[in-house]
Structure 1
Amino acid sequence: MSISRIPIVFEIEGIGESRGELIRYLAPRTVSAIVKRLPLEGRCALLKDEVYFKIPLRMGEEKATRNVEEGVIAYWPMGSALCIFLGKTRPYSPVNRIGKITENLELFKKIKLGTRIKVDKVS
């Protein structure tokens, strides 16, 4: 397994599993801090083409952007949240891109407000 790309799995309650990867070079400090805290769980919130959930991490911007594409996984410093983008959209405020969804992005489109989600490293 590469240390620069960390495979992860999202378990979405009542919907299924999606896979992705955290990519260290996109935001090294942010990715390292998130990996140390895995597994992470929360309840989903929705905003335009974005699913997000709060995580116990307070970090500032790192290579932050307001331009994201479909499938991007990002950390949102202003909201202390992990975000998955379902389309090309402009986030509410800058985000730290940290990875991408590699399988079953469409499952995130079925998420409703309050749906439980868990993310962990692939074992």
Structure 2
Amino acid sequence: MAKVKISVGRVALHVDLLDTPTAEAILAAVPFDSRATTWPGEVYFQAPVRAPLEQNALEVVQSGEIVFRSEGESIIIGYGPTPCSEGAEIRLAARANLWGRTTDDLTALSAVEAGDLVRVEAFDPV
């Protein structure tokens, strides 16, 4: 299974790629750098990827699910309730393509600041 590493500021996440067209597009684009943007409950950043909205796109994600928003070409990492959430759910502002999962702890993402460097690269856990 292919993996990527997403480093945001001091946080590093190891992401298992799913078998989706969006995951293939992201893997083809690595390595790349971006800058973090924050919204309560999520960190997102631009990616040099174009992918149409997939049929199974999600508006509510589970902790550890990594998605790509076609509008704005952004990778989104939800880690807690957002202003759109009902209760404790992680609700995005718009539907997005699920392309990866991580089991890493996401709580440290709350310390990420807008403008922090983001690096996405292939990861080979040898």
Q: Under TM normalisation by the shorter chain, which class is it? A: 0.7 to 0.9
The residue number in structure 1 matching 2:15 is 20
The offset of 1:70, in angstroms, is 1.4
The offset of 1:105, in angstroms, is 1.9
TM-score, normalised by the number of residues in structure 1: 0.84
Whether 2:67 is the aligned partner of 1:74: answer yes
* Candidates 19, 44, 51, aligned match of 2:43: 51
> What is the aligned residue count?
115
The offset of 1:72, in angstroms, is 1.4
The residue number in structure 2 matching 1:120 is 121
The residue number in structure 1 matching 2:91 is 90
The offset of 1:48, in angstroms, is 2.2
Cα RMSD (Å):
1.5
Aligned residue identity for 1:81: S
TM-score, normalised by the number of residues in structure 2: 0.82
Identity %: 23
Listed as ranges, the gaps of 5+ residues in structure 2 are: 81-88
Listed as ranges, the gaps of 5+ residues in structure 1 are: none
